[in-house]
Amino acid sequence: MFSTVDPHHKTKRVSALERLLAKLLSYGTWIASFIVAIGIARAFVDANDVRLMKAGIGCLILLPMLRVLLMLFLFLRERDYRLAIAAALVLAIIVAGIVIGVHRGSAIAG
Amino acid sequence: MDAHFTIWLLGVSFGASMLGGMLGMASGIFIVPVLVIFGHIEIHRAIGASIVSVIACSCGGASSGLNARLTNFRLAIVLEVATTLGALTGVLLNGVVPIRFLILLFAAILFISAVQMLSKRRVSVKTPQAGCRWATRFDLHSTYPEPARGVDVEYKLERLPLGMSLMYGAGLISALLGIGSGVLKIPAMDTALRLPIKVSSATSNFMIGVTGAASAGAYFMQGAVVPSIAGPVALGSVVGALAGARVLLRVSGESLRLLFVIVLILLGVQMLLNGLNIHLF
């Protein structure tokens, strides 16, 4: 079998960054989903207590931001400033969305 | 919070997501119509719940594409500048646009998706291309493994500016309707950037989480994400997507695809009627 593989075109291995991103995203999803599940169980007991569920949902929304932050650090470390700027921009845009949401939330409450 | 309603939410999101997972596609497009038509949930709340489940499914499924080296994460972060900017625009529009417009737009997206599912995705040209100079500047060209031949295949990106513009539109629709908006991402990836299909599927799924976070963050803070709706929907979707990816297909992919098209059209018709104030359920 190995004779069919051209030594000049061997497939590359999964990079450390790819492995790190994969781990962050899958473990993160598991943990956040677990918190949501506990929250649902809690709400079955006390319908008014949705704090844990809310925390789990918050974790799910934070997870992609964490992924971009990780990429930002790794691009900076590799001195790949163009992609680091792209990552910083993405983070800034997401934060801008959160700020808009906070303003609207307080406008509704007030 | 009503226990029956919670179980219903868990069930429908599990079912929709499992069906989606069996075809390797996101099910976000089903969640909002089902919640609005059968759950009688106000559309902004349905969108808030759906976008959280879209994020969860994207993050939960990202590792397979990364570990198979199909995800072009360098390209993803560049395109995400456009998708998140689009999402931010969608967030701003979401508060202004009338509800009826949202429902009708959703109906249109359902019909477009049905048409897209019926037509085969075109296979990108295999011959080596010169590649777009913007993509070269950001070093976005890459390779992906072709297990059948045991080699890495090189690919180059075309028309990055056009791809970015389409991605802006995809982000906008995603935020406005609470979906992953594969409808717009597939043409952007296949037609504009000319990515190999495996690469475009993995990269698009990888990007959805970040795109969704841009609008979900806003909706969460303004109180449009209702925990008692979004929680069960997110959990049901994650578990459903996992189950769907593992289920052995007993029916052929083609008949499942047809079932999907029929469901998309039925939901589209119902959303259209809803938008025109005709209620059957």
Q: Which pLDDT tens digits describe chain B residue by residue (281 residues)?
A: 588 899 999 999 998 888 777 766 667 788 999 999 899 999 999 999 999 999 998 888 888 889 888 899 999 999 999 999 999 999 999 888 999 999 999 999 999 888 888 876 665 555 556 778 888 888 888 888 877 777 888 888 888 899 999 999 999 999 999 998 777 787 788 778 888 888 888 898 899 999 999 999 999 999 999 999 999 999 999 998 888 777 655 666 677 778 888 888 998 999 999 888 776 66
Under 8 Å CB-to-CB from A80, ≥6 apart: which residues?
Answer: B139
Query: Residues of A with CB below 8 A from B143's CB?
Result: 12
Residues of chain A with pLDDT under 70: 1-11, 108-110
Q: What residues of B are in contact with residue A32 (Cβ under 8 Å)? A: 56
For residue B126, what pLDDT is reported? 53
pLDDT of residue B257: 79
ipTM of the complex: 0.89
Minimum CA–CA partner of B74 in chain A: A83
Flag whether residue B238 sits within 8 Å of chain A, measured between CB atoms: yes
- Domains of chain A: which residue ranges? 15-109
Question: Containing H/E element for B270?
Answer: helix B253-275
For B220, the closest of A23, A101, A109 (CB atoms) is A101
Q: State both tokens at B270.
A: 């119902």
Say if B154 is an interface residue toward chain A (CB within 8 Å): no
How many CB atoms are closer than 10 A to CB A84?
19
Taking only the tens place, the pLDDT of each residue in B151-210 is: 888 888 888 899 999 999 999 999 999 998 777 787 788 778 888 888 888 898 899 999
Which of B2, B10, B213 is facing A65, going by the closest CB pair?
B213
Q: Cβ of B7 under 8 Å from any chain A Cβ?
A: no
Q: Kindly report the nearest CA distance between residue A100 and chain B, in angstroms.
A: 6
Residues of B in contact with A83 (CB under 8 A): 74, 77-78, 138
Taking CB atoms and an 8 Å cut-off, how many pairs form between chains A and B?
203
The residues facing B213 across adjacent strands are none
Of B95, B138, B220, the CB nearest to A61: B220
Selecting from B81, B137, B220 the residue whose C-beta is nearest the C-beta of A58 gives B220
- φ, ψ for residue B157, nearest 5 deg: -90, 145
Residue B63's alpha-carbon distances to A81, A103, B237, in angstroms, are 25, 35, 17
Q: Which residues contact B164 (CB under 8 A, 6 or more apart)?
A: B78, B79, B81, B82
What 8-state DSSP symbol labels residue A6?
-
Contact state of A104 with B138 under an 8 Å Cβ cutoff: no
Phi first, then psi, for residue B27 (nearest 5°) are -110, 5
**Beta-carbon separation of A100 and B92 below 8 A:** yes
Calculate the dihedral angle through the C-alpha atoms of B12, B18, B23, B29, rounding to the nearest 10 degrees.
Answer: 30
Task: Please provide the DSSP assignment of B122-157 as one string.
Answer: PPPP-S-----HHHHHTT--EEEEETTTTEEEEE--
Residues of A in contact with B223 (CB under 8 A): 105, 108-109
The gap between the terminal CA atoms of chain A, to the nearest Å, is: 71
Question: B59–A60: do the CB atoms touch at under 8 Å?
Answer: yes
Which amino acid belongs to residue B105? L
> Is A9's CB within 8 Å of B151's CB?
yes
pLDDT at position A2: 37
